[in-house]
Structure formats: C-alpha cells, structure tokens
Amino acid sequence: MFDVLFTYPKIRARHQTAAGAAERERYLTHCASQGLARETLLRIARELLVVAERLDVTGGNQITRREVEAAARNWVRHQRRRGRTGRGEWSRRLFMQVATDWLRFLELLAPPPGGPRNAHSDQLDDFVAYLSDERGLSPRTVSQRRWQVEHFLRHVPSGKASIADMTVDDVDAFLDSKGRDGWCRVSIATSAAALRSFFRHAEMRRWCSSGIAAAIDAPRLFKEEGLSRGPNWVDVQRLLAGTGGDEPRNTRDHAILMLFAIYGLRSGEVRGLRLEDLDWTAELMMVERPKQRRTQYYPLVASVGDAIVRYLQGVRPRCTSREVFVTLKAPFRPLSAGGMYHAVASRLNALGIQTGNHGPHSLRHACAAHLVEAGLSLKEIGDHLGHRGAHATRTYAKVDLAGLREVAAFDLGGLS
C-alpha cells in the first residue's frame, strides 16, 4: 500500500521502516477497500506514522483510551514547541480519531474503565445468551430486550445492588416513571414484556425470589385498536415520481422506495438484500424473512428490476460490501436503518404528504391497503407481506372503506 500512496523513495522508506509498519499497511489496505479517496488515505497514513511512534501496537497489548488521550496531548505539545499549531484542538482530534479507529481495527482498543460492565453485566450476558441460543430470537429483538433491562437496572435505587433485592414495586415504580416521562402505552408495554422475560429467567437461575415476573403489570393494549397508518396510493405514486432524474441519490432511493411500496418489504429486509439475492436469469428476488426465519421468493417486477439495474450500473460505487444498497460517499458501507428512514421521511415531508407514520413501514401499510382495494383476499395479502398468520393481516380490512360502505348499505329487508 505504501508503494501506491508514496512516490518519493525516501518518504516511502520512512513509512515502511517506522514502527508498526505491517499493522499500518493492513489498516490502509482496509481503508482503500472501503472506497476512501487517495487524499484521505494519505492524510490517514501520515497521521498513523505519528500515532505509531507514540503507541506501541507490536506487542499485542491492549491500549486504553486514557493512553491514547495522553499520547494526543504529548503530540500537540510537541507541535506547539515547534510552532506548528495554535490551540492544537484540531491536531488532538485528528490524532484521537485515527488512533482509535486503527486500534479498533486491530482489536487492541481496551474497553473504557468502568464502562459498559457493571454489577449486573454477567447476569445480562447470561440472559442475552439464553434469548439468542435457546429461544432463538433475532439479534434485533435480543438487543432491544437487553436495552430495556439495562434501562431498568440503571433506574433501580443504588441500595439494591443485587437482583435478589429487587421487587415488583421497583418494576412498577420504573414503569410509572416512564409514563410520566411521556412514554406511550405501547412503549411501556414493550418494556414490561422485556422485564417479564428477564425476571422469568432470573427466577429460573434462582437470582431472585419467585413471583416477580407474574406480578409485572402493563397498560392494556387492544388488538387492532388503531388503523394502519400510511399514505394513500396517489401519494405513493407522487413519491415515486419525485425520485426521477439522474441525480445519484434519486436513482438509489427510487429503487428503495419501489421495494417498500410494491413488495411491502420491511426496512431490515431491504437493508439485508444482497447482490446474490437477485436472480436476473429467472427474474426472481430472494428475501430473507428474519421474523419468520425463512426465505421468500418474489417475481422481479420489470419496473423494479429496471430501477435496481439503473442504480447498480450507474450509481452504486465499487466496494467490497455485498449488500445492494450502500452509502454514496466513502467509506462505503451498507445503508443503515436511519438512512432507510431518511430516504422515505425526507421525501414525504418535502411533498407535504400527511401520514401517521413517515418511515419505511408507512409504505408497507400503503402497499397492504392498495392490495385490499384491488380485491385481493387477506390470505393473499398476508402471503405477499410475509405474515405468519391471518391475524396479522386482518387490521387492513378496516381500511377498505369502500367495502365497509357496501356492507353498511346492505338491505336486510324485513329482518330489521
């Protein structure tokens, strides 16, 4: 990598013979594979040389953030003595950023002292392993439940250092406080479900007294109490039309929006779509359904296929990522959940489209409502959306206002 970046032999030799040369070259090769520009690679390479002179990575020992900060301050002082910097804040930040990224890549960055681990970390790890290995829950669900439990444990009075000291009153006090903080009923019920799961596990492990899980109460949620919230189909068509033109972001987002609107895919399903999931010969698209733990095949609609091809051939950057949708600027990486949300919400807001939900799920609702209006059965709609059972699809029957009006206008004759 040094041969590619540096033209002058003396400069190249300096980088090749300085401390941590092999580790620096590995990291620069990794950065280049992520699509970073040459100027960016040069800046990182120069800063890595400074970092490697002040932090020893050759022994394989982990380096703490405090050591990185101390090395950064020493570097700034060195520059000041030579009159190369003023306050030195920019130099310190660059040193910290490059050093922590490099150490994280080498897996040599030590966790912060007193960081995420605490008195309950071992129990939380055991709980997470149970959810993942024995229950088989998805990583997203496991992560959400861990967050809910951690949030509760931070709220518990400091005098109760052990799970054995906790009672259902502590759980009730926590849920009540969340209600006062503005959490909605669904969020409180979700938290209660996570805590119920945790305390069932704690009872099984004999970490606490029995009966806590069964006593945890939550706001009552009524089945299908709300209508599905999404834009009407006319607005969906406006949304798709608004991503015309040759601008790279429009080209990419047009393909994304079509997958949401026409197939009713979830955000994670679009983010997880890989290049090998598109069978252009058979005109099929393979979608991994994490919630159902199965793979579903869809015929590749011509308009959607054309939109994806246009994006792949004209916009998608060359990178090592196998995901279809990636960022447009280096470092190139799969598009995040926030990126997917922004692709939908920003355009809905720009067009002034009023809808209860502004994220990707709103287009999933719009797709389902459109299929109801087209006369498809709930079973057909459920199969299209990847529902496990008809109960998940029944709520969409309530948005078929034309059908409901026909029922209301039905003449019962002399039976009334």
Q: Which residues are catalytic?
A: 266, 291, 361, 364, 387, 396
Return the amino acid letter for 299: P
Q: Which residue has the tokens 């800046």?
A: 43
Residue 54's beta-bridge partner residues?
A: none
Q: Is the dihedral of CA 79, 80, 86, 87 positive or negative?
A: positive
Quote the tokens at residue 341.
């949300």
Q: What angle do CA 246, 251, 253 make, to 5 degrees?
A: 145
Collapsing DSSP to helix, strand or coil, 187 comes out as helix
Q: How far is CA 252 from CA 94, 320, 357, 412, in A?
A: 32, 18, 22, 53
Cα distances from 250 to residues 27, 197, 236, 264, 309, in angstroms, run 33, 43, 15, 20, 14
Q: For tokens 């890989």, name the residue.
A: 274
Contacts of the segment 321-325: beta carbons below 8 A, 24+ positions apart? 322/274, 322/275, 322/276, 323/271, 323/272, 323/273, 323/274, 323/275, 324/273, 324/274, 324/275, 324/277, 324/278, 325/252, 325/255, 325/256, 325/270, 325/271, 325/273
Element (H, E) at 84: none
